[in-house]
């Protein structure tokens, strides 16, 4: 029996803790709109310039999520990069302090459940707010304040934002204890909105790809469904039923 991999080893091989067979893949481009030189990554990179990129102007995340940094060596401002296309820097951050991306790593998502404790003071003291399986666009709107000096991420992976509505500088909380705002590299104890980072194992519109089904597996003999005849498209608002089918396709 082979020895089970630890969490860092799983990340190094590009495997998610959350989903069996899930992989990480991101493509960085030198210029905006996916132009210029490009480099593909499936594991962490401390310095993208070592891969022939002088700068990063656009990003395509094929499977993830990833955590980008505006400095070398996984330091500086953080940027969540979930599955999708980012044609220019302001699509992965709305912070005006930085538009660089020089290092990145896979971001582990190890639980379908999410629980977060926010504390007013360092060392898990002062007023406390518990968030369970929910996104909060405004801490003020939920009866808390914007001062957050320590955090416990009990389950799941979270991202906090400096301003309401998931705007401003981002702070990522992987599972663990953060006794002081310096632990998440914040300049001050301020967070005004938080949301969950989720993956495709538990949320079909999440970030991870899933392995293709086994072609050797037998296909069940299901009766064919024949839709009833219709006369012209059925409108829902200003969307036809054909559009609705593609909208909700998983």
| Domain range summary for the chain, segments of one domain joined by + | 11-106, 115-197
Report yes or no: 109 and 200 within 8 Å, Cβ to Cβ. no
Q: Which pLDDT band holds residue 97 (cuts at 50, 70, 90)?
A: low
CA distance 187 to 17: 31
> Which tens digit of pLDDT belongs to each residue from 57-70?
999 999 989 999 99
Which is more confidently placed, 125 or 219?
A: 125
Q: What is the pTM of this model?
A: 0.69
| Structure-token pair, residue 180 | 């002081």
| Token couple for 194 | 């938080």
What's the confidence (pLDDT) of residue 96? 67
Asked whether the predicted pLDDT for residue 171 surpasses 90, the reply is yes
DSSP tag of 73:
T
Q: Is the pLDDT of residue 180 over 80?
A: yes
For the cut 70, the answer to whether the pLDDT of residue 130 exceeds it is yes
Mean per-residue pLDDT, 203-209: 37
Domain 115-197 falls under CATH 3.30.70.980: no
Q: Give the per-residue pLDDT at 99.
A: 75
CATH fold, domain 11-106, is Gamma-B Crystallin; domain 1 (2.60.20)
Q: How far apart are CA 148 and CA 229, in angstroms?
A: 58
Which of 111-115, 173-177, 197-201 shows the lowest mean pLDDT across its residues? Answer: 197-201
Lowest mean pLDDT among 11-25, 140-154, 212-226: 212-226
Residue 223, token pair as written in the block: 């009766």
Tell me the two tokens of residue 238. 């200003």
Q: What is the pLDDT of residues 6-48, one digit of tens each?
A: 333 333 333 333 344 458 999 999 999 999 999 999 999 999 9
Quick one: pLDDT at residue 198? 77
Question: Lowest mean pLDDT: which of 65-69, 99-103, 185-189?
Answer: 99-103
Residue 11 is encoded by which pair of tokens?
Answer: 């990340």
In a 3-state reduction of DSSP, which class is residue 63? Answer: strand
Average pLDDT rounded to a whole number, residues 160-166: 94
**Do 11-106 and 115-197 show the same overall fold?**
yes
Which helix (H) or strand (E) segment is 239 a member of? strand 239-240
Classified as helix, coil or strand, 197 is strand
């Amino acid at each position: 029996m082979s020895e089970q991999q630890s969490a860092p080893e799983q990340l190094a091989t590009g495997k998610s803790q959350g989903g069996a067979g899930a992989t990480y893949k991101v493509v960085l481009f030198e210029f905006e709109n996916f132009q210029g030189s490009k480099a593909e990554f499936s594991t962490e990179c401390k310095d993208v310039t070592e891969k022939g990129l002088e700068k990063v102007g656009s990003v395509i995340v094929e499977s993830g999520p990833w955590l980008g940094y505006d400095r070398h060596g996984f330091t500086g401002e953080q940027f969540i990069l979930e599955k999708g296309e980012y044609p220019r820097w302001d699509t992965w951050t709305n912070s005006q302090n930085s538009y660089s991306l020089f290092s990145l790593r896979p971001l582990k998502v190890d639980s379908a459940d999410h629980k977060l404790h926010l504390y007013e003071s360092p060392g898990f003291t002062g007023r406390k707010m518990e968030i369970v399986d929910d996104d909060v666009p405004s801490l003020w709107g939920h009866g808390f304040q914007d001062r957050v000096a320590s955090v416990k991420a009990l389950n799941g992976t979270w991202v906090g934002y400096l301003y309401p509505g998931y705007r401003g500088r981002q702070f990522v909380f992987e599972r663990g204890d953060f006794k002081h705002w310096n632990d998440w590299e914040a300049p001050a104890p301020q967070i005004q909105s938080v949301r969950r980072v989720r993956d495709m194992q538990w949320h079909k519109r999440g970030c991870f790809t899933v392995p293709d089904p086994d072609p050797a597996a037998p296909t069940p003999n299901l009766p064919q469904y024949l839709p009833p005849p219709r006369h012209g498209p059925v409108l829902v608002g200003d969307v036809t039923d054909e559009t609705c089918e593609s909208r909700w396709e998983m």
